[in-house]
Amino acid sequence: MELDPSIAALEHRLGMDSFRRRLRVEHALQGAVHRFSTNPKSNLAKLLMRSRLLHQAMRLVGLYQIGYRQFLYPRIVTRDVPLAGLPAAMEGVTILQLSDLHLDLDPGLGAILAPLLDGLQYDLAVITGDFRNLLVGPAEPAIAATANLLRHLRGPVYAVAGNHDSLGMIPPLEAAGARFLLNEHVVWSRGNARLVLAGVDDAVYHGTHDLDRAFAGAPNDAPRVLFSHSPAIYREATRHQVDLLLAGHTHGGQICLPGGHIVISGLRCPRRYLRGAWTYEGMQGYTSAGTGASGVPLRFNCPAEVTLHRLVRG
Ligand SMILES: [Fe+2]
């Protein structure tokens, strides 16, 4: 099949092996979801049926509105990130992180986020993947809603793709102002001080994250920040001298037991990496609980978040 030239042009950025692997996995996912969703006896069909029944039951007992409010009003998390070796000129540099927007799930979220983002102060922004609600299918509603939201972010805005995102979504999102880091890095400067900002492709379903490629040619004397949809690459990140890893994917559990106890995270990973701040062998890490939600526009005991990471000298 002939590839759209704008998609084919991503091969030299992602790397040939990762590019081909991603196309194969995207194709396989489409086939699998189609087979499961058209077979009424499949696990997916049963899951969808149970989810619809759960919806109805929650509406009846008034729980739906409670969960919907928790989904719709993300909290702003502001945190200091102490980094050894941070140049004085980088003191206070603030990274805005949005993650797992899935904006096509519910039009209400974009409308709430726009004015909230207008009022924030930061130096650069990153969206750590998952722009679309479903794993496959039309991406246009997610692209249009994200493009609207990007008008409320001040540049530069970086992004990485998540397990819900396809290569075909990247050219229109880049045209709308998000610069994807496809196993790539950029050097961000303030005065004479430099910061390496690297991003890797999705490690969750596609396995197309390539840290060697992302850091190839990056200066060794500047702090390194890595953006990844999945936090589960933390061991590989330390092998590339990463100082700060920003990730998402887990939604912090999205629907949690009282006390925030995570029931489902969608990731095989020790519990401490599933939500919030963590460290591993001296590397700082943060897993966003997600700005949006997927599947259902509901959250329980797990607030959505917009995160401001303020770098300070450690
Ligand atoms: Fe997600």
| Cβ–Cβ under 8 Å, residues 288 and 305 | yes
> Ligand 1 center to residue 251 CA distance, Å?
6
Domains of the chain plus CATH, in order, are 5-313 (3.60.21.10)
Q: How far apart are CA 112 and CA 72, in angstroms?
A: 7
Q: What is residue 44's predicted lDDT score, i.e. its pLDDT?
A: 60
User: Which candidate, 251, 233, 248, 225, places its Cα nearest to that of 311?
Assistant: 225
Q: What is residue 77's predicted lDDT score, i.e. its pLDDT?
A: 98
pLDDT in tens, the chain (314 residues): 688 999 999 999 999 999 999 999 999 988 877 776 666 666 666 666 666 777 777 777 778 999 999 999 999 999 999 999 999 999 999 999 999 999 999 999 999 999 999 999 999 999 999 999 999 989 999 999 999 999 999 989 999 999 999 999 999 999 999 999 999 999 999 999 999 999 999 999 999 999 999 999 999 999 999 999 999 999 999 999 999 999 999 999 999 999 999 988 788 889 999 999 999 999 999 999 999 999 999 999 999 999 999 999 98
Q: What is residue 235's predicted lDDT score, i.e. its pLDDT?
A: 97
> Ligand 1 center to residue 202 CA distance, Å?
12
Q: What pTM was estimated for this model as a whole?
A: 0.94
Checking phi first, is residue 15 left (phi over 0); if not, alpha (psi -120 to 50) or beta? left
Distance between first and last Cα of the chain:
52
> Ligand 1 center to residue 237 CA distance, Å?
21
Q: What is residue 58's predicted lDDT score, i.e. its pLDDT?
A: 73
Q: What is residue 168's predicted lDDT score, i.e. its pLDDT?
A: 97
* 80: CB partners within 8 A, 6+ apart: 310, 312
Q: What is residue 52's predicted lDDT score, i.e. its pLDDT?
A: 73
The distance of Cα 250 from the centroid of its chain, to the nearest Å, equals: 9
> Ligand 1 center to residue 47 CA distance, Å?
18
> Ligand 1 center to residue 229 CA distance, Å?
9
Neighbours of ion ligand 1 (CB under 5 A): 100, 130, 294
Collapsed DSSP state (helix, strand, coil) of residue 24: helix
> Ligand 1 center to residue 204 CA distance, Å?
11
> Ligand 1 center to residue 19 CA distance, Å?
21
Q: What is residue 220's predicted lDDT score, i.e. its pLDDT?
A: 95
> Ligand 1 center to residue 164 CA distance, Å?
7
Q: What is residue 37's predicted lDDT score, i.e. its pLDDT?
A: 66
What distances in angstroms separate CA 22 from CA 174, 219, 277, one per listed residue? 18, 28, 30
> Ligand 1 center to residue 291 CA distance, Å?
9
pLDDT tens string 17-46: 999 999 999 999 888 777 766 666 666 666
> Ligand 1 center to residue 84 CA distance, Å?
31
Q: What is residue 36's predicted lDDT score, i.e. its pLDDT?
A: 66
Q: What is residue 234's predicted lDDT score, i.e. its pLDDT?
A: 98
> Ligand 1 center to residue 217 CA distance, Å?
31
Q: How far apart are CA 155 and CA 142, in angstroms?
A: 20
> Ligand 1 center to residue 238 CA distance, Å?
24
Q: How far apart are CA 269 and CA 141, in angstroms?
A: 31
Q: What is residue 249's predicted lDDT score, i.e. its pLDDT?
A: 97
